[in-house]
Protein backbone atom coordinates (compact mmCIF):
# COMPACT_ATOMS: atom_id res chain seq x y z
CA UNK A 1 0.00 0.00 0.00
CA UNK A 2 1.27 3.45 -0.95
CA UNK A 3 2.10 5.50 2.14
CA UNK A 4 3.56 8.90 2.99
CA UNK A 5 4.90 9.99 6.39
CA UNK A 6 5.96 13.57 7.09
CA UNK A 7 8.04 14.85 9.98
CA UNK A 8 8.08 16.82 12.11
CA UNK A 9 4.35 17.52 12.57
CA UNK A 10 5.13 21.09 13.56
CA UNK A 11 8.23 23.27 13.35
CA UNK A 12 8.88 26.69 14.86
CA UNK A 13 11.79 28.68 13.46
CA UNK A 14 13.27 32.08 14.07
CA UNK A 15 13.49 34.22 10.96
CA UNK A 16 16.73 33.32 9.17
CA UNK A 17 17.06 29.92 10.89
CA UNK A 18 17.40 27.30 8.15
CA UNK A 19 15.90 23.81 8.52
CA UNK A 20 14.56 20.78 6.64
CA UNK A 21 11.23 18.97 6.43
CA UNK A 22 11.15 15.23 5.79
CA UNK A 23 8.83 13.12 3.65
CA UNK A 24 9.31 9.34 3.81
CA UNK A 25 7.38 7.24 1.35
CA UNK A 26 6.62 3.72 0.21
CA UNK A 27 5.06 3.37 -3.21
CA UNK A 28 4.83 0.78 -5.95
CA UNK A 29 6.58 2.29 -8.94
CA UNK A 30 7.10 5.96 -8.13
CA UNK A 31 5.78 8.15 -10.93
CA UNK A 32 6.17 11.42 -9.11
CA UNK A 33 6.66 13.06 -5.70
CA UNK A 34 5.02 16.43 -5.15
CA UNK A 35 5.42 19.24 -2.61
CA UNK A 36 2.63 21.68 -1.85
CA UNK A 37 2.14 24.67 0.43
CA UNK A 38 -1.23 25.21 2.11
CA UNK A 39 -2.37 28.35 3.89
CA UNK A 40 -5.27 28.13 6.39
CA UNK A 41 -8.66 27.79 4.72
CA UNK A 42 -7.15 27.59 1.22
CA UNK A 43 -6.45 24.88 -1.31
CA UNK A 44 -2.86 23.56 -1.57
CA UNK A 45 -0.52 25.47 -3.87
CA UNK A 46 1.88 23.43 -6.01
CA UNK A 47 5.61 23.89 -5.35
CA UNK A 48 7.68 21.07 -6.90
CA UNK A 49 7.58 17.77 -8.74
CA UNK A 50 10.43 15.25 -8.41
CA UNK A 51 10.54 12.12 -10.56
CA UNK A 52 13.73 10.21 -9.78
CA UNK A 53 16.31 9.74 -7.04
CA UNK A 54 19.01 12.38 -7.11
CA UNK A 55 16.76 15.03 -8.59
CA UNK A 56 16.68 18.51 -7.00
CA UNK A 57 14.45 21.54 -7.58
CA UNK A 58 14.78 25.07 -6.19
CA UNK A 59 12.47 28.04 -5.85
CA UNK A 60 13.48 31.12 -3.89
CA UNK A 61 14.26 29.94 -0.33
CA UNK A 62 13.02 26.38 -0.94
CA UNK A 63 14.92 23.39 -2.26
CA UNK A 64 13.47 19.91 -2.68
CA UNK A 65 15.56 16.74 -2.95
CA UNK A 66 14.67 13.10 -3.56
CA UNK A 67 16.16 9.73 -2.68
CA UNK A 68 14.68 6.27 -3.19
CA UNK A 69 12.98 6.36 0.22
CA UNK A 70 12.49 10.00 1.17
CA UNK A 71 12.37 13.60 0.11
CA UNK A 72 13.52 16.70 1.92
CA UNK A 73 12.27 20.25 1.66
CA UNK A 74 15.09 22.54 2.73
CA UNK A 75 14.17 26.06 3.80
CA UNK A 76 17.05 28.53 3.77
CA UNK A 77 16.83 31.74 5.81
CA UNK A 78 13.04 31.56 6.17
CA UNK A 79 10.83 34.62 6.50
CA UNK A 80 7.51 34.95 8.36
CA UNK A 81 5.65 34.74 5.03
CA UNK A 82 6.96 31.18 4.65
CA UNK A 83 4.69 30.15 7.53
CA UNK A 84 2.24 27.55 6.21
CA UNK A 85 1.58 23.81 6.17
CA UNK A 86 3.80 21.94 3.72
CA UNK A 87 2.35 18.80 2.19
CA UNK A 88 4.09 15.95 0.41
CA UNK A 89 2.32 13.57 -1.99
CA UNK A 90 3.31 10.56 -4.11
CA UNK A 91 1.84 8.92 -7.15
CA UNK A 92 2.64 5.36 -8.13
CA UNK A 93 1.36 2.86 -10.64
CA UNK A 94 -2.16 2.89 -9.13
CA UNK A 95 -2.62 6.54 -10.24
CA UNK A 96 -3.74 7.45 -6.73
CA UNK A 97 -2.27 10.72 -5.44
CA UNK A 98 -1.55 10.01 -1.76
CA UNK A 99 -0.75 12.80 0.71
CA UNK A 100 1.06 12.89 4.03
CA UNK A 101 -0.38 14.73 7.02
CA UNK A 102 1.87 17.74 6.51
CA UNK A 103 4.36 19.81 8.50
CA UNK A 104 3.01 23.00 10.04
CA UNK A 105 5.78 25.61 9.84
CA UNK A 106 5.78 28.82 11.87
CA UNK A 107 8.50 31.41 11.30
CA UNK A 108 8.82 34.14 13.90
CA UNK A 109 10.43 37.56 13.31
Partner 1 sequence: DGGITQSPKYLFRKEGQNVTLSCEQNLNHDAMYWYRQDPGQGLRLIYYSQIVNDFQKGDIAEGYSVSREKKESFPLTVTSAQKNPTAFYLCASSSSGNTEAFFGQGTRLTVV
**Contact positions vs partner 1 (CB under 8 A):** 6, 31-32, 34, 36, 41-46, 49, 51, 87, 89, 91, 95-102
Instruction: Encode 26-48: b = buried (16+ Cβ within 10 Å), e = exposed.
Output: ebeebeebbbbbeeeeeebeebb
**Rounded to the nearest whole angstrom, what is the least distance from the CB of residue 77 to partner 1 in the complex?**
26
Integer Cα distance of 101 and 86 in angstroms: 9
Integer Cα distance of 106 and 104 in angstroms: 7
**Rounded to the nearest whole angstrom, what is the least distance from the CB of residue 16 to partner 1 in the complex?**
27
Residue with Cβ nearer partner 1 (61 or 104)? 104
**Rounded to the nearest whole angstrom, what is the least distance from the CB of residue 92 to partner 1 in the complex?**
9
Integer Cα distance of 27 and 99 in angstroms: 12
**Rounded to the nearest whole angstrom, what is the least distance from the CB of residue 14 to partner 1 in the complex?**
24
Residue with Cβ nearer partner 1 (5 or 18)? 5
Amino acid sequence: EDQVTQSPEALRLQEGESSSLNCSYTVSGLRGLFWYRQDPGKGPEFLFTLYSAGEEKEKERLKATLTKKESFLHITAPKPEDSATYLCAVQGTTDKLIFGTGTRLQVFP
